[in-house]
Structure 1
């Protein structure tokens, strides 16, 4: 199967590093576009101004710092790459972006939890795996 657009959600962890490594290699082989996505927690609207705007600015700055690590990787020059940051529920954000961008594959890192642990803990990877409209590749 050939993929044309791959979504890789990242959080800066070693698990994300592994997912990006495999995702970039697959994208290069398939000549696919890659979207790197970082989801930050929602900012409470009750903070009031100027605190609300400061919190949004900080979350956005932190998100782009995480994304920049991957955008600057040597392999990034070999593929078509874009990045996005979004606030809100991580699982819903990943699903929404994958559908909106018409991605045909999601690649995510896993911490190695079992199905039962993922279900009880509410693992984002586990939720995406069970709700995504496209294939999900989990990298350990």
Structure 2
């Protein structure tokens, strides 16, 4: 029986489908849904994601945080849209926003919460980067210590 389910949300249609499946599972088992949005700051591989590709220095990290470019306002918008797209009434839903590399952050959060399952989209918003370095869902599925359900 599932007690806690982690659902990474990135604004993609696959993530919304994953949330819909997770909501059905949560209803059937009275599980708590944990929605996770990961803000990924540009890094040395940024050219693959369409950014400058410059190394992220501590000074640049502070600049992004001061200007609000870290994605937190965007994160709240993405989470709000996901909540509106899927019927979640009657479910206990928690939201978390974290910063880091998506796969690593999802795995860390799953372990910290002690989730029974991760339900996630097979493809997210960064498909081009995923083709080059491996998809987030693939990385999570191969490293998670819990059940991972990938939704297409």
Whether the TM-score (by the shorter chain) exceeds 0.5 is yes
Q: Deviations over 1:55-93 (max 9, x none)?
A: 35x510001110111233562112110111111110110
Question: CA-to-partner distance for each residue in 1:22-44, whole Å, 9 max, x for gaps?
Answer: 01111011110000001111364
Runs of at least 4 residues off by over 3 Å: 48-52, 118-121
- C-alpha distance in 2 between matches for 1:81 and 1:105: 15
| Worse overlay, 42-51 or 62-71 | 42-51
- Judged with a 3 Å threshold, the aligned counterparts in structure 2 of structure 1 residues 33 and 121 are, in CA distance, closer, same or farther, namely same
Supply the distance in 1 between the matched residues of 2:119 and 2:102 (Cα, whole angstroms).
14
The answer to whether residue 66 in structure 2 is matched with residue 53 in structure 1 is: yes
What corresponds to 2:38 in structure 1?
39
The Cα of 1:48 is off from its aligned counterpart by 7.1
Unmatched tracts of structure 1, length 5 or more: 112-117
Task: Report 1:59-74 matches (<5 A).
Answer: 59-73=71-85
Contact 1:3 1:104 in 2 (8 A): yes
Cα distance in structure 2, aligned partners of 1:136 and 1:120: 22
Shift of the 12–119 alpha-carbon distance from structure 1 to 2, 3 Å rule, reads closer
Q: Which residue is equivalent to 2:26?
A: 27
Q: Would the alpha carbon gap of residues 91 and 50 (structure 1) be closer, same or farther in structure 2, given more than 3 Å must change? A: closer
Q: TM-score, normalised by structure 2?
A: 0.78
- Structure 2 gaps of 5+ residues are 43-55, 124-129
Q: Which moved more, 1:81-90 or 1:45-54?
A: 45-54
What is the deviation of 1:46?
A: 1.9
After superposition, residues 7-26 of structure 1 pair within 5 angstroms as: 7-26=6-25
Comparing 6-15 with 119-128, which one deviates more in the overlay? 119-128
Report the RMSD for the aligned CA atoms in angstroms.
2.1
**Greater helix share, structure number:** 1
